[in-house]
């Protein structure tokens, strides 16, 4: 593989199940050493895309190359260079954590001693040394996930696929998994991650592809995607609800669109073009009029809004077509 080759390359992948097109011209390019998020609603085709790239599913057409090899024509070479963490923790629940890692190590064709050594290293790295002798079925959700992750890292894969790695985990376990993913990324592993959670993509991924109806409908860094959806918003929360009309008038003066008042939250909110200038002008005006503000802030649109907007647009297009 050339240094410049992308770690993951999908070109015009198609996959149809019966009448449903799971992948309909799916394109993706992930440079080596980066974390890439596939974001999309249930049934958008994220999992099918990962399964094709991880050699588990044959595409109907298109190209899938992973770590320099063709996933369809050369699956064994690809399998030596990838790790896959699927939606469930795919570990044997009757075996202990250590027995699991030794079993998978042997199946990755490590010798008995090497498999045992690797198992101990990984248990240590994922904080499972103490639980190593207990059956994996007795682990907490987060521990089982970490064991699952460890099993995918036995051969130190060049590319790691994480298919909704935190679905069904409690917030604590989710943070644990995030931490592990960050460490792997820092060590240079290329990671392709699917998620339904926008904050997860925002937290972990350097670049995000928004997937809907089997295609990538938008791609960029989290910031780029947020910027694409439009402008910042200026929020003002006042102490006294009676001040709301006056504040709405002042905000209207600096806004690029209509100001919205929310009586219950004592908040006025409006889109602004030049966020910082608008903020400074407004704070000065509030001061001049002697209005007490509890909070004044500039807000980037959240990825949620980006996501809903993008997938919503797609739906509109479909209706039009």
The string over 107-116, giving b where at least 16 C-beta atoms fall within 10 Å of a residue's C-beta and e elsewhere, is eeebeeeebb
- Contact pick of 5, 20, 61, 94 for another protein (by CB under 8 A): 94
| Least distance (Å) between residue 305 CB and another protein | 33
Beta strands in the chain (DSSP E): 8-17, 20-30, 35-39, 61-66, 69-70, 82-85, 159-163, 190-195, 207-212, 215-220, 232-238, 260-262, 267-272, 293-299
Does 277 sit near another protein (CB under 8 A)?
no
Does 79 sit near another protein (CB under 8 A)?
yes
| Least distance (Å) between residue 20 CB and another protein | 13
- Contact pick of 29, 63, 74, 80 for another protein (by CB under 8 A): 80
Does 84 sit near another protein (CB under 8 A)?
yes
CA distance linking residue 312 with residue 209, whole number of Å:
16
| Least distance (Å) between residue 86 CB and another protein | 5
Does 73 sit near another protein (CB under 8 A)?
no
* Piece in contact with another protein (CB under 8 A), picked from 83-91, 124-132, 213-221, 237-245: 83-91
Instruction: Kindly tell me which of 103 and 296 has the beta carbon lying closer to another protein.
Output: 103
Does 86 sit near another protein (CB under 8 A)?
yes
CA distance linking residue 309 with residue 214, whole number of Å:
17
**Across the chain, which distance is largest between two alpha carbons, in Å?**
78
Task: Identify residues 122-181 at the interface with another protein (CB under 8 A).
Answer: 135, 151
* Piece in contact with another protein (CB under 8 A), picked from 74-82, 197-205, 208-216, 274-282: 74-82
Residue 25 φ/ψ, nearest 5 degrees: 80, 50
Residue that has been written with the tokens 């009309």 in this structure: 245
Helix or strand or coil: residue 172?
A: helix
Residues 25-54: x/- map of binding to another protein (CB under 8 A)? Answer: -----------------------------x
Instruction: Kindly tell me which of 151 and 282 has the beta carbon lying closer to another protein.
Output: 151
- Contact pick of 63, 99, 175, 314 for another protein (by CB under 8 A): 99
Classify strands 82-85 and 159-163 as parallel, antiparallel or unpaired. parallel
Instruction: Kindly tell me which of 84 and 310 has the beta carbon lying closer to another protein.
Output: 84
Task: State the sign of the Cα–Cα–Cα–Cα dihedral 288, 289, 292, 296.
Answer: negative
Does 95 sit near another protein (CB under 8 A)?
yes
Q: How far is CA 123 from the centre of its chain?
A: 25
Helix or strand or coil: residue 114?
A: helix
Does 109 sit near another protein (CB under 8 A)?
yes
Question: Which is nearest to 175 in space by CA: 209, 147, 199?
Answer: 199
* Piece in contact with another protein (CB under 8 A), picked from 5-13, 76-84, 167-175, 267-275: 76-84
- Contact pick of 63, 87, 261, 302 for another protein (by CB under 8 A): 87
| Least distance (Å) between residue 77 CB and another protein | 8
Cβ atoms of 55 and 78 closer than 8 Å:
yes
- Contact pick of 32, 67, 89, 282 for another protein (by CB under 8 A): 89
- Beta pairing partners, 135: 96
Interacting residues with another protein (CB under 8 A): 54-58, 76, 79-80, 82, 84, 86-96, 99, 103-104, 106-109, 135, 151
């Amino acid at each position: 593989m050339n240094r410049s080759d992308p770690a993951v390359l999908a070109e015009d992948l198609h996959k149809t199940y019966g009448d449903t097109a799971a992948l309909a011209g799916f394109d993706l390019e992930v440079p080596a050493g980066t974390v890439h998020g596939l974001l999309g609603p249930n049934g958008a085709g994220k999992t099918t895309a990962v399964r094709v790239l991880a050699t588990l599913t044959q595409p109907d057409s298109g190209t899938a190359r992973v770590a320099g090899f063709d996933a369809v024509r050369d699956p064994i070479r690809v399998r030596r260079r990838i790790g896959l963490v699927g939606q469930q923790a795919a570990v044997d629940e009757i075996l202990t954590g250590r027995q699991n890692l030794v079993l998978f190590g042997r199946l990755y064709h490590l010798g008995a001693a090497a498999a045992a050594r690797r198992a101990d290293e990984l248990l240590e790295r994922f904080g499972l040394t103490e639980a190593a002798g207990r059956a994996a079925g007795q682990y907490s959700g987060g521990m089982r996930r970490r064991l699952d992750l460890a099993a995918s890292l036995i051969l130190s894969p060049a590319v790691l696929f994480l298919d909704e790695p935190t679905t069904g985990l409690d917030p604590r376990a989710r943070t644990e998994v995030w931490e592990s993913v960050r460490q792997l990324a820092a060590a240079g592993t290329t990671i392709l991650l699917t998620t339904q959670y926008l904050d997860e993509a925002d937290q972990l991924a350097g670049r995000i592809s928004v997937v809907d109806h089997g295609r990538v409908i938008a791609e960029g860094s989290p910031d780029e995607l947020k910027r694409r959806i439009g402008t910042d918003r200026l929020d003002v929360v006042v102490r006294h609800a009676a001040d709301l009309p006056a504040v709405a008038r002042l905000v209207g003066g600096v806004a690029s669109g209509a100001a919205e008042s929310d009586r219950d939250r004592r908040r006025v909110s409006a889109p602004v073009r030049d966020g910082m200038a608008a903020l400074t002008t407004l704070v000065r005006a509030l001061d001049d009029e002697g209005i007490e503000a509890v909070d004044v802030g500039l807000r980037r649109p959240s990825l949620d809004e980006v996501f809903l907007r993008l997938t919503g647009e797609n739906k509109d297009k479909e209706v039009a077509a």
